[in-house]
């Protein structure tokens, strides 16, 4: 038991002895330095500290600017639901057979358009702008293709249908536009189309 205790004491003492030796060597190094070397070392430390403080200040400024510029990002994203719901309600009314071609429907749709235009105007004043999609080439940074539509009159990858309007906030994407893009007709489809045309002409 005594042997074990002595061994433990010796093990505990070793790291302390090493630490003391390191401290002594550091002190010796410091004592060996000339005043000029000490000044250079202190100047280096001060320069590093100042550089770190400057980097921290720039980081803080950038975060502050971003918070000011894009602080309403989430609110704006949620507010887009208003435009979506207005569009859905409008489509629902247009598809209602009982209301079709009625004066009430015409008047209601006019009010819907006024509300929609007002919302778009408010968004525009706050740098939230709709993405123009129809007729444009698919841009993965702005659009998300949801389907392909066969169209021989348009170049492949041209947007021919907008499923959900996309928006940007300043120079950032707020929400991508969900779109349908054109693709060339298959050869088999072309042949069947031509056959149908021929049979129709007969």
Express each pLDDT in 13-50 by its tens digit. Answer: 545 455 455 555 555 555 677 888 888 888 888 888 88
At residue 99's C-alpha, the angle toward residues 98 and 105, to 5°, is 175
What pLDDT is stored for residue 74 in this prediction? 82
User: Residue 16's Cα: distance from chain center in Å?
Assistant: 54
Q: Output DSSP code: residue 176.
A: P
Alpha carbons 155 and 116: distance in angstroms, whole number? 32
Higher per-residue confidence, 138 vs 98: 138
What is 130-195's CATH topology? Nucleotide Exchange Factor Grpe; Chain A, domain 2 (2.30.22)
Strands laid side by side in the 143-150 sheet: 143-150, 177-183, 159-164
What would the mean pLDDT of 139-167 be, rounded to a whole number? 91
Q: Are 162 and 195 in contact (CB under 8 A)?
A: no
**Helix, strand, coil fractions of the chain, as percent rounded to 5:** 65, 15, 20
pLDDT of 131 > 70? The answer is yes
Render pLDDT for 80-94 as a digit per residue (tens, 0 to 9).
998 899 988 988 888
What pLDDT is stored for residue 28 in this prediction? 53
């Amino acid at each position: 038991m005594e042997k074990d205790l002595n061994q433990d004491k010796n093990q505990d003492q070793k790291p302390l002895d090493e630490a003391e030796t390191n401290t002594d060597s550091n002190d010796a190094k410091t004592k060996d330095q000339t005043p000029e070397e000490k000044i250079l070392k202190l100047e280096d430390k001060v320069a590093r500290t100042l550089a770190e403080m400057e980097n921290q200040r720039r980081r803080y400024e950038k975060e502050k600017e971003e918070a000011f510029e894009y602080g309403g990002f989430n609110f704006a994203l949620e507010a887009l639901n208003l435009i979506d719901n207005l569009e859905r309600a409008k489509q629902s009314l247009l598809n209602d057979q009982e209301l079709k071609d009625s004066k009430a429907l015409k008047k209601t749709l006019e009010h819907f358009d006024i509300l929609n235009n007002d919302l778009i105007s408010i968004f525009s004043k706050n740098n939230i702008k709709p993405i123009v999609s129809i007729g444009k080439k698919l841009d993965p940074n702005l659009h998300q293709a949801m389907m392909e539509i066969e169209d021989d009159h348009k170049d492949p990858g041209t947007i021919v249908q907008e499923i959900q309007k996309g928006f940007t906030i300043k120079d950032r994407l707020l929400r991508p536009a969900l779109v349908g893009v054109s693709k060339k007709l298959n050869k088999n489809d072309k042949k069947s189309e031509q056959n149908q045309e021929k049979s129709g002409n007969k």
